[in-house]
Copies of this chain bind each other. A is one copy, B any other.
Amino acid sequence: MSNVIDESGILAIATRLQRLSDTFRKDGQLIYKSFGHDFEPKWFPVVYTLDIKSQLSVVEIANEIGYTHPSTISLLKELEKLKIIHSKKDKSDERKRLISLTEKGKELVAAIKPIWDLLRKTQIEILDTKNNLMKAIEEVEEQLKISSFYDRAEKNKSLMGQKSSD
């Protein structure tokens, strides 16, 4: 597919990660569809979380799934329109909206859990190569927690004969 960029390797990693991500998302959607469900992969984090935790506020969900709260709100809006979730005010804190699955939502989860298993199995099959992508991601996240890309680059600057502007 791409020539020069593959050779440049590591510098275009952001691009390649995103493309891979898109591929998984698109195929995921098709697989749900082939089972007769119009379930969008992007809903998974919210729905999966609510299946396990049953009732959470907007920000709690955002934290669980690792999204910003505005992104979470727009997902919740879609799911609310489809009556997969519903919300009610928290009586002890009027700022909060407590979200949970509706009956319809619970039925949906029960119906698609076997698909989640299938997706999981299939992804494991694809990802279980010599260098395991899932583990690699975890390891890289770990590395970045120790010291960010930016901080490491700052430190490495001194190794090169290059002046910085700050």
Contact = CB atoms under 8 A, between A and B. Distances in A.
A94 interface: no
A78 to B, nearest CB: 16
Given A4-B65, A65-B4, A156-B118, A131 B123 contact: no
Given A131-B131, A139-B130, A162-B114, A153 B13 contact: no
A3 to B, nearest CB: 6
A6 B8 CA distance: 31
Contact of A118 (B18, B65, B139, B162): B162
A102 interface: no
Interface in A114-146: 114-127, 129-137, 139-144
